[in-house]
């Protein structure tokens, strides 16, 4: 692992060149790049969403990326999970992702956890990124982030469609993922494994997740609980506002 650049250290010449397109922007500059370099982000799920999230956050210079996923690479993953290759078959996804992201940017630190997500792992992060396809994991992540006041960026995709919603829990707001998700539906749970998905749709949603993380880290996020939906088949985005559930067992009493 490489050391994270501390906020009181100027960027090296190589870092200045690497991040020059950020430094040219008035609303980022060197101060903003130092914020990114001192940030800690947890990515839960290193599949079709987590791969582009990791690539873009690593390239952007987010100082520490922690990766959590218990799965190993399978041949069926390669249609959409862009960090992996044939030679990675049967290896832990997080180990392969740690290798690739460290090659993308040697100035960041990458830590891998080849395990299911747990409350104990969600500690002291600036943002948590939910890239899972498991409802129980999503609920656990949401509850932990809400309790610990950690911003959460969550996305999903199925078929041609994707959706993203983010919550800045650091602002003590109501409305969380638990308010939105229908936990009592009798319908079968659909996911990529049983229903399929278009790879670039996951790329689009993962890229939007990474953009949202950067916005939060730089202080530009103002869309708590607003859902972004994408229909790749007709090529349209749609924004939806949602309401807090006053009886929500997670945030109702917040």
Domain 13-240 has CATH 3.40.47.40: no
Marked catalytic residue, from 96, 192, 248, 251: 192
Say whether 144 is catalytic.
no
Q: Are 118 and 111 in contact (CB under 8 A)?
A: no
Number of helices followed by number of strands (H, E) in the chain: 9, 8
E strand intervals along 85-211: 109-113, 127-130, 152-158, 161-167
pLDDT, tens digit only, all 254 positions of the chain: 333 444 567 899 999 999 999 999 999 999 999 999 999 999 999 999 999 999 999 999 999 999 999 999 999 999 999 999 999 999 999 999 999 999 999 999 999 999 999 999 999 999 999 999 989 999 999 999 999 999 999 999 999 999 999 999 988 778 999 998 866 554 556 677 677 899 999 999 999 999 999 999 999 998 899 999 999 999 999 999 888 998 899 998 54
Task: Compute how many other C-beta atoms are within 10 angstroms of the C-beta atom of residue 90.
Answer: 8
Report domain extents, the chain.
13-240
Burial of 111-140, coded b for 16+ CB within 10 Å and e otherwise, reads: ebbbebbeeebbeebbbbbbbbbbeebbbb
Which residue from 14, 99, 13, 86 is spatially nearest to 58, judged by alpha carbons? Answer: 99
User: Count of residues for the chain?
Assistant: 254
Instruction: Say what the pTM is.
Output: 0.93
Which helix (H) or strand (E) element contains residue 53? Answer: helix 50-60
3-state secondary structure of 236: strand
């Amino acid at each position: 692992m490489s050391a994270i650049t501390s906020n009181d250290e100027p960027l090296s010449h190589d870092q200045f060149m690497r991040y020059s397109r950020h430094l040219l922007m008035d609303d980022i500059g060197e101060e903003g790049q130092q914020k990114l370099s001192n940030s800690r982000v947890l990515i839960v799920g290193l599949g079709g969403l987590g791969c582009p999230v990791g690539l873009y956050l690593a390239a952007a210079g987010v100082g520490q990326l922690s990766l959590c996923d218990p799965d190993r690479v399978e041949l069926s993953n390669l249609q959409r999970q862009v960090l992996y290759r044939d030679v990675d078959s049967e290896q832990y996804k997080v180990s392969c992702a740690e290798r690739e992201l460290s090659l993308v940017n040697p100035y960041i630190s990458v830590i891998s956890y080849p395990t299911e997500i747990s409350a104990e792992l969600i500690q002291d992060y600036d943002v948590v990124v939910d890239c899972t396809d498991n409802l129980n994991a999503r609920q656990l992540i949401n509850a932990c982030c809400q309790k610990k006041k950690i911003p959460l960026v969550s996305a999903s995709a199925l078929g041609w469609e994707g959706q993203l919603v983010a919550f800045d829990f650091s602002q003590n707001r109501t409305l969380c993922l638990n308010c939105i998700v229908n936990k009592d539906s009798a319908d079968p749970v659909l996911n990529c494994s049983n229903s399929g998905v278009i790879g670039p749709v996951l790329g689009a949603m993962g890229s939007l997740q990474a953009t949202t993380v950067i916005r939060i880290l730089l202080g530009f996020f103002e869309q708590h609980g607003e859902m972004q939906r994408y229909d790749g088949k007709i090529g349209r985005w749609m924004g939806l506002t949602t309401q807090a559930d006053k009886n929500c067992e997670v945030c109702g009493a917040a």
